[in-house]
Amino acid sequence: MAKIALFPGTFDPPSLGHLDIIKKGGKLADRLIVAIATKPEKAKGALFNLNEKLEMLKAATQGFSNVEVTSFQGLAVDFAKEKKVSFFLRGLRAFSDFEAELQMALANRRLSGIETVFLLADEKYTHISSSLIREILYFNGPVKDFVPEAILPFLTKVKKPAQG
Ligand code: ADP
């Protein structure tokens, strides 16, 4: 049976760290589904809408033949069961990621029996986070060292969130 991996995340916006996890994770599975979680409470503070994130992720992963990009609503475990996923894929940066990731992986395993595989991105990407990129974009700073080249054109029309 084909091994299907699911990489769920917010990807607001996708970063070179995400792309590295996708590259590495794609080698561990026959198919890798990268799925944007659409949570209403997250959408409030989001810089990019779902459509923009889908377009950006598709552009960034264009050359990867076994990677598909989609979105889901609700629990990742329900989506994973529907897609007959073999394992979740997540990335770890620093120790600070560990606690939340552990909690989520344990909850997902309890709810579905599906394991989570954690990968480390290359050291040169460990300082990169979507929140850092959003902050730089907010002040019109350069983000080319932090995001896949393919998504740069999507970032030029960033609308600043309301001041406050
Ligand atoms: P979420 O809001 O679900 O954490 P993110 O889009 O912020 O979604 O991150 C998705 C996954 O990618 C998480 O597992 C996160 O730890 C991982 N990740 C994000 N940036 C990096 C990076 N620079 N190196 C390795 N993993 C990363």
Q: Please give the helix or strand (H or E) that residue 112 lies within, else none.
A: helix 95-112
Question: Is 0.85 surpassed by the pTM of this model?
Answer: yes
Per-residue pLDDT of the chain (164 residues; tens, 9 = 90+): 899 999 999 999 999 999 999 999 999 999 999 999 998 766 677 999 999 999 999 999 999 999 999 999 999 999 999 999 999 999 999 888 999 999 999 999 999 999 999 999 999 999 999 999 999 999 999 999 999 999 999 998 665 554 44
- Mind giving me the DSSP string for 67-106? EEEEEE-S-HHHHHHHTT-SEEEEEE-SHHHHHHHHHHHH
134, 47 contact by CB (below 8 A): yes
Which amino acid, one-letter code, is at 123? E
pLDDT of residue 42: 60
Which atom of ligand 1 sits closest to the CA of residue 42? 2
Sign of the alpha-carbon dihedral angle for 36, 53, 69, 98: negative
Taking CA 67 as the corner, what is the angle to CA 29 and CA 51, rounded to the nearest 5 degrees? 140
pLDDT at 164: 45
For the sheet with 67-72, list strands across it: 67-72, 31-37, 4-9, 87-92, 115-120
**Best residue among 18, 32, 95, 101 to mutate for probing ligand 1, ranked by most atoms within 8 Å of CB:** 18
Coil, helix or strand at residue 119: strand
- Catalytic residue selected from 31, 81, 93, 109: 93
pLDDT score recorded for residue 39: 80
| Dist CA 92 CA 121 (whole Å) | 7
Contact, 33 vs 5, CB < 8 A?
yes
Active-site option among 15, 18, 86, 134: 18
Reference 85, options 33, 43, 160; nearest CA is 33
Question: Distance, CA 90 to ligand 1 centroid (Å)?
Answer: 7
Q: What is the pLDDT of residue 106?
A: 98
End-to-end CA distance of the chain: 52
How confident is the model at residue 45, as a pLDDT? 79
Question: Atom 22 in ligand 1: which residue has the minimum CA distance?
Answer: 17
Which residue puts its alpha carbon closest to atom 10 of ligand 1? 9
3-state SS, residue 146 = coil
Identify the active-site residue in 3, 42, 124, 160.
Answer: 42
